[in-house]
């Protein structure tokens, strides 16, 4: 982790650092030749971190909803649903900018069908 050169990247770095720092401390870097043998530890650790961050996201949404007197059902249907759909949106935009419009459209439709089906 090195300090970025532009001010926009520095702001992003500071916002993302609290999320990435625990990952950097606990997960081996499998991109290096020495770290390739630890891929299974990194995989299992990544799943555990995703579970922990998901728990925190739901907990913080509940606290925010209780503070604003918004029912948990509404928080789940709006904020948490939007939070899980934003990565799909970003991926579709990136793919569309690279010139793969068909892939972006199928990703948008497919991810929504998957989200509704799997839950």
pLDDT tens digits, 46-82: 999 999 998 998 899 899 999 999 998 888 888 777 7
Domain residue limits, the chain: 1-69, 71-118
Give pTM, 2 decimals.
Answer: 0.69
Q: Tell me the C-alpha distance between 47 and 54, whole Å.
A: 10
Q: Tell me the C-alpha distance between 46 and 88, whole Å.
A: 19
pLDDT tier, 15 (very low <50, low <70, confident <90, very high otherwise): very high
Residue 96 has pLDDT above 70, yes or no: yes
**Residue at token pair 């997960």:** 27
Q: Copy the structure tokens of residue 17.
A: 């650092």
């Amino acid at each position: 982790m090195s300090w970025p050169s532009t001010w926009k990247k520095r702001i992003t770095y500071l916002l993302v650092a609290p999320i990435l720092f625990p990952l950097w401390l606990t997960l081996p870097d499998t991109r290096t030749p020495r770290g390739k043998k630890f891929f299974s530890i990194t995989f299992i650790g990544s799943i555990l971190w995703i579970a922990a961050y998901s728990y925190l996201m739901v907990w913080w949404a509940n606290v925010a909803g209780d503070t604003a007197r918004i029912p948990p059902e509404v928080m789940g249907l709006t904020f948490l649903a939007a939070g899980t759909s934003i990565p799909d949106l970003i991926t579709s935009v990136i793919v569309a900018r690279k010139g793969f419009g068909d892939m972006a459209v199928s990703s948008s439709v497919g991810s929504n069908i998957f989200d509704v089906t799997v839950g």
